[in-house]
Amino acid sequence: MRQSPDRGASELISVPSTVTHARSLMPRRLTIVQGHPDPHGKRLCHALADAYAEGAAAAGHEITRIEVAQLDFPILRTQEEFERGDLPEMLVGARDGIVSAQHLVAIFPLWHGTMPALLKAFLEQVMRPGVALEYRTHGFPRKLLTGR
């Protein structure tokens, strides 16, 4: 039984046990990107990432965790760097974790209404052409990470 999101708090709907059981039998590769820029680990985002990882591991899922604040990488400054530059070696594992994930979780605080600059810089580095989008000569890019 679980609460229905569109019903009163006291109403419950029944979920067949075969549905929930079938989901738990399919381990997945999960990547958690913890994007709080404070490397000391005493923030709500760190606790949320810990809880998510513990729950997913207990359910039998394979977990890859990326702590953005622990990575030392340069920011991209030009379109040329983004399109043709080499990915810094320290980010190859992070990129591979994102690409191989069947489920991707990003946890970060909202600063001035958006993600922290360090997380944005990280995403710009790892989401180069061919990772998140396949750019084409005409039309919109093709999405490569759809469904995660």
**Residue 6 belongs to some domain of the structure:** no
Q: 0.85 cut: is pTM over it?
A: no
CATH (domain of 45): 3.40.50.360
Structural domain boundaries enclosing 114: 27-143
pLDDT band at 71 (very low <50, low <70, confident <90, very high): very high
pLDDT tens profile 76-86: 999 999 999 99
- Tokens 């990575």 label which residue? 71
Q: What is the dihedral of CA 8, 9, 11, 12, to 10 degrees?
A: 130
Could you tell me which of 33, 46, 40 has the C-alpha nearest to residue 94? 33
Q: What is the mean pLDDT of residues 46-60?
A: 96
What is the total count of domains within the chain? Answer: 1
What type of residue is 4? S
Q: Would residue 20 count as lying in a domain?
A: no
Helix axes 92-100, 117-126, angle to 10 degrees: 80
Alpha carbons 146 and 148: distance in angstroms, whole number: 6
- Confidence tier at 12 by pLDDT (50, 70, 90): very low
